[in-house]
Amino acid sequence: MTRYIDSSILPSAITRRRRVDRILIAISILALILTALAVYWQCSRPTVDGDTNGDGRLNAVDLTMQKRHLIGTYDLTWGQVQGADYNGNQRIDQGDIDHWRDVILGRCE
């Protein structure tokens, strides 16, 4: 049995495949660079006590996340719980939330 290959299609198919491969490689490299930048940015930010969402600031957003975690409508990671656990009892409770609220309001440090 003899197979015939249309030689006019083959080079363009290979060229197209190489072009797609180059685009995929470029996207992969870009994703790797963006991931490295995100890790660097996250690690280089100052750590702020009570900062639950990791934006480097303590504010009402953090309190909302903590309150929602307390009533069971939002799950925090273990690291977030540790960061928000002011009284050191390994969980977020009303005492933690009251403390961070007072810090935000300038009632305590």
Binding site for Ca ion (CB under 5 A): 51, 53, 55, 57, 62, 85, 87, 89, 93, 96
For the CB of residue 71, give the shortest distance to Ca ion in the complex, in Å.
Answer: 15
- Closest to Ca ion by CB, 12 vs 90, is 90
Of 15 and 82, nearer to Ca ion (C-beta) is 82
- 36 or 101, CB closer to Ca ion? 101
| Minimum CB distance to Ca ion, residue 34 (Å) | 22
Pick the closer one to Ca ion by CB: 21 or 55.
55
**Nearest distance, CB of residue 54 and Ca ion, angstroms:** 7
Spatial distance between the Cα atoms of 12 and 6, rounded to a whole number of angstroms: 11
